[in-house]
Chain A
Amino acid sequence: MSETTLTRRQLLAGGMTLGAAGLLAACVGTTSGGGGGGGSAGTGAVTLQNSIQDADPKAALEALVKAYQGGDVTLNSVATEQFRAQLTNYLRSGDSPEVLSWYAGSVARAYADEGLLLDVSSLWEGDGPCAGFSDALRSLSSDASGAQIFVPTNYYWWSVFYKRSAFEKWGVEPPTTWDEFHALCENLSGQGVAPLANGLSSTPWMASGWFDYLDLRLNGAQYHRELLAGEHAFNDPEVVAVMEEYKRLVPYFDKNAASYTAQEAATPVAQDATAMYLVGAFVSGYFPEDQRDDLDFFSVPVIDDAVPTAEEAPTDGFFAAARSDNHEGALDLLAYLASADAQQQFIERSRSSNLPTSPDVDTSAFSPLVQKGIALLNDTEEITQFFNRDSSDALQATADTALTKFLADPDSLTSILDEWQTAAEGVRGS
């Protein structure tokens, strides 16, 4: 971030540090290359580039890596946005980190298409650690040729989260139909409570949550995937219908939504000033510890019965770089991270509401909230991930601009959708 203020001296110092780091890395390489037989698998040094930033999940991964017996693992944790910016550089460099944490789906597939990801199909075959994962996960983790290039280790669901105690206080019930949802919003507004939370300042992608769900409810998952793949235009009548529905929600949002981040937006919900928050299950980490058991959720109600049910379930995990030195070590570490034991430990230690991808994880001890999340995803007909994961980070940027602008000025809908389509074509053309 600071490259514009780098002085020449800092640049030189940086260069020297890089050089020194290179030397150090070379030393590490030599030593463990020689003594690699010490571990049980003896697969040599492996670098794990980690983008997990929240404190508890990061600590959980550190603990997992520490317990790994297969060889020396250097864990580099990088802030998510920085990681995103640097990811192509990591994968392109001649001495790429062996294993990197990132997301399944289109976003991983795009890197695979460039030939940057290691084929990890061997983990998905026979008695490999991923062999028992669901078919949905398998297809999410496959590249265009059908080979697996991703190892999913956990996922989570999106829903409308609320506090049971607050709903009791206001004398309201979770809605089951779209009309009830609107009636609930009206009721809460009348009581002086902001019905819907959101945080769009440095996390403008949060505006895509409602967009995705309204598109899933009105046009269905198939259309949604096609739209994000560029087969439909953002100014098509189907999308206009989604935005008209979105427009009806605009008055219900917390008036400070544009100033909050995703995390800050949870504060008024915790304080019973705002009622509901369409967000990923990671939101439980934003609430005070003594409120987490009070959290509950309901799925965005069905709008059109004819449309198959669908939920968003972003999948996290790891992939391996094709251009690293130690493919064997990478596969061994991936196998470890994908194992049921490692998944269980990660989820427990990270105190998140994430779900395991391995069917062998014993989920009976997980909180009722997580049990309900598992049931939600088991019952739904279609699963999507999230706007950026079903398309690309570049297309997400166009959505951020269009949707935040729309939320500030819903009446300019037509021109905003035209601009969005132009911007999307620009992204796809480049």
Chain B
Amino acid sequence: MSAPPTRRRLARVPLLVWVFLLVPLAAELFWVFWPAANSFSLALTRWDGIGLAEPVGLQNFRDLADDPIFLTALRNNVIWVVGFGGLSVVGGLALAVTLNRPGPFVGLYRSAIYLPMVVSLAVSGLFWRVMYAPEGPVNAALGALGLESLERQWLADPAVALGAVLVAAVWRQVGYIMVLYLAGLKGTDGSLEEAAAVDGANAWQRFWRIVMPQLRGVSTVVFAVTVIDSLRTFDIVWAMTRGGPYNETQLLSTYMFQQAFTTGNLGYASAIAVVIFALAIGFIITYLARQARTED
């Protein structure tokens, strides 16, 4: 296609459309990109939010490397990305495949599993705090089953607290992933599967060789959504443990919040934000690049 027709087509776009496009763009630039860019420059300063920001170069990042809480948060974030991402994708996919076939109450199950997604993470967090309370339903159920030895201070014991929060987060996320995969499964071609069955492929082979490749588009979306969601996880941890006991369930996001707004180290907090940004972008770009290569 040559250039002139494109230009003519652009010229034919009515002014009103440009206005509709440019106003949100300006708002986006001002409200999203400008603050984001600011946080990059703040990361190179020491700033308490009151006085003048004092430039310190890369000192914040050097401090981060020696900060035991940051390292705990980073480790927890890795556990979180793998655990939250892995469990919710596996769980969501399994549920989607199970609930994709007709059966009694399938609609009811689907809505029931999706329901937690409707509730905000903060509310889910409060709900699970009640579940995990020392005399709460989880411990009571274990006691009733004669498993007293498994009773724990779920949110106060550093050995299990992060896992306990993870379960609550996955409980909510799994329904969302299920819906995404259900939509993907509706778009697969049933006749391919039938043909494979005629050729003697078993259910497992049919799923991995025939169905999964058709779900690649959905999987890309799910991967991106999951990585972004797990890196920005904040509310459920804040609602359930506030990063405690003694910072053992701190994630990068909660530690950033604590540094910024409790301790008032806005420069240091911005440095953490930059790390989160770099991680998210790194994950997504690597994945998309790999996807693009396999599609070529």
B200 within 8 A of A: no
B28 within 8 A of A: yes
Residues in A whose Cβ lies below 8 Å from that of B247: 401
Contact residues, A1-48 vs B (CB, 8 A) = 1-2, 4-5, 8, 11-12, 15
A88 to B268, CA, bound (A): 17
A25 CB, nearest partner CB in chain B, Å: 20
A59 within 8 A of B: no
Q: Are A84 and B156 within 8 A (Cβ)?
A: no
Q: Are A394 and B264 within 8 A (Cβ)?
A: yes
A69 within 8 A of B: no
Instruction: Mark the stretch among A100-108, A233-241, A256-264 that contacts chain B.
Output: A256-264
Q: Are B262 and A88 within 8 A (Cβ)?
A: no
Q: Are B245 and A404 within 8 A (Cβ)?
A: yes
A207 to B264, CA, bound (A): 22
Q: Are A85 and B244 within 8 A (Cβ)?
A: no
Contact residues, B248-269 vs A (CB, 8 A) = 253, 258, 261-265, 268
B183 within 8 A of A: no
A21 CB, nearest partner CB in chain B, Å: 16
Residues in A whose Cβ lies below 8 Å from that of B154: 259
Q: Are A11 and B261 within 8 A (Cβ)?
A: no
Out of B27, B69, B133, B263, name the residue touching A427 (CB < 8 Å). Answer: B263
A296 to B235, CA, bound (A): 39
Residues in A whose Cβ lies below 8 Å from that of B156: 200-201, 258-259, 408
A135 within 8 A of B: no
A12 to B28, CA, bound (A): 8
Residues in A whose Cβ lies below 8 Å from that of B220: none
A114 within 8 A of B: yes
Q: Are A401 and B246 within 8 A (Cβ)?
A: yes
- Chain B minimum-CB-distance residue to A116: B50
Q: Are A397 and B265 within 8 A (Cβ)?
A: no
Contact residues, B69-92 vs A (CB, 8 A) = 69
Residues in A whose Cβ lies below 8 Å from that of B121: 5
A2 to B125, CA, bound (A): 13
Residues in B whose Cβ lies below 8 Å from that of A116: 50
Chain B, interface residues (CB within 8 Å), range = 35 or more
A204 to B242, CA, bound (A): 10
Output the residue of B134, B135, B253 with the most chain A CB within 10 A: B134
A202 within 8 A of B: yes
B115 CB, nearest partner CB in chain A, Å: 19
A172 CB, nearest partner CB in chain B, Å: 25
Chain A, interface residues (CB within 8 Å), range = 35 or more
- Chain B minimum-CB-distance residue to A16: B27
Residues in A whose Cβ lies below 8 Å from that of B268: 430
Residues in A whose Cβ lies below 8 Å from that of B172: none
Q: Are B27 and A408 within 8 A (Cβ)?
A: no
Residues in A whose Cβ lies below 8 Å from that of B134: 255-256, 259-260
Residues 213-242 of B, flagged 1 when their CB comes within 8 A of A and 0 if not, give 000000000000000000011110010011
Out of B155, B238, B253, name the residue touching A201 (CB < 8 Å). Answer: B155
B32 within 8 A of A: yes
A114 to B50, CA, bound (A): 8
- Chain B minimum-CB-distance residue to A405: B246
Q: Are A85 and B153 within 8 A (Cβ)?
A: no
Residues in B whose Cβ lies below 8 Å from that of A11: 31-32
B295 CB, nearest partner CB in chain A, Å: 29
- Chain B minimum-CB-distance residue to A84: B262
Q: Are B49 and A397 within 8 A (Cβ)?
A: no
A343 to B106, CA, bound (A): 62
Known contacts A258-B245, A427-B263: does B158 contact A88 (CB below 8 Å)?
A: no
Known contacts A12-B27, A85-B261: does B155 contact A259 (CB below 8 Å)?
A: yes
B48 within 8 A of A: yes
Residues in B whose Cβ lies below 8 Å from that of A202: 242, 244
Residues in A whose Cβ lies below 8 Å from that of B48: 88, 430
A402 to B245, CA, bound (A): 10
Q: Are A15 and B27 within 8 A (Cβ)?
A: yes
B284 within 8 A of A: no
B277 CB, nearest partner CB in chain A, Å: 12
Q: Are A8 and B28 within 8 A (Cβ)?
A: yes
Residues in B whose Cβ lies below 8 Å from that of A85: 261-262
Residues in B whose Cβ lies below 8 Å from that of A259: 132-134, 153-156
Residues 152-189 of B, flagged 1 when their CB comes within 8 A of A and 0 if not, give 01111110000000000000000000000000000000
Q: Are A8 and B32 within 8 A (Cβ)?
A: yes
Residues in B whose Cβ lies below 8 Å from that of A408: 156, 158, 245-246
A419 within 8 A of B: yes
B55 within 8 A of A: no
Q: Are A419 and B68 within 8 A (Cβ)?
A: yes
A266 CB, nearest partner CB in chain B, Å: 14
Output the residue of A393, A401, A405 with the most chain B CB within 10 A: A401
Out of A5, A12, A394, name the residue touching B263 (CB < 8 Å). Answer: A394
- Chain A minimum-CB-distance residue to B229: A5
Residues 175-209 of A, flagged 1 when their CB comes within 8 A of B and 0 if not, give 00000000000000000000000001110100000
Residues in A whose Cβ lies below 8 Å from that of B234: 1, 4-5
A92 within 8 A of B: yes
Q: Are A4 and B253 within 8 A (Cβ)?
A: yes
B14 within 8 A of A: no
A89 within 8 A of B: yes
Q: Are A204 and B232 within 8 A (Cβ)?
A: no
| Residues of chain B whose beta carbon lies under 8 Å from any beta carbon of chain A | 27-28, 31-32, 46, 48-51, 68-69, 121-122, 132-135, 153-158, 232-235, 238, 241-242, 244-247, 253, 258, 261-265, 268
Query: Which are the 10 A-B pairs with shortest beta-carbon distances?
Result: A258-B156, A85-B261, A256-B134, A405-B246, A4-B234, A259-B156, A394-B263, A401-B246, A259-B153, A404-B246
5 A-B interface contacts by CB (under 8 A): A92-B49, A258-B153, A258-B157, A401-B69, A404-B245
Besides A1-B238, A5-B235, 17 new A-B residue pairs in contact (Cβ under 8 A), listed by A number: A5-B232, A5-B234, A15-B27, A84-B262, A91-B50, A200-B156, A201-B156, A201-B241, A202-B242, A204-B244, A204-B245, A258-B153, A393-B262, A393-B263, A394-B264, A400-B244, A408-B158
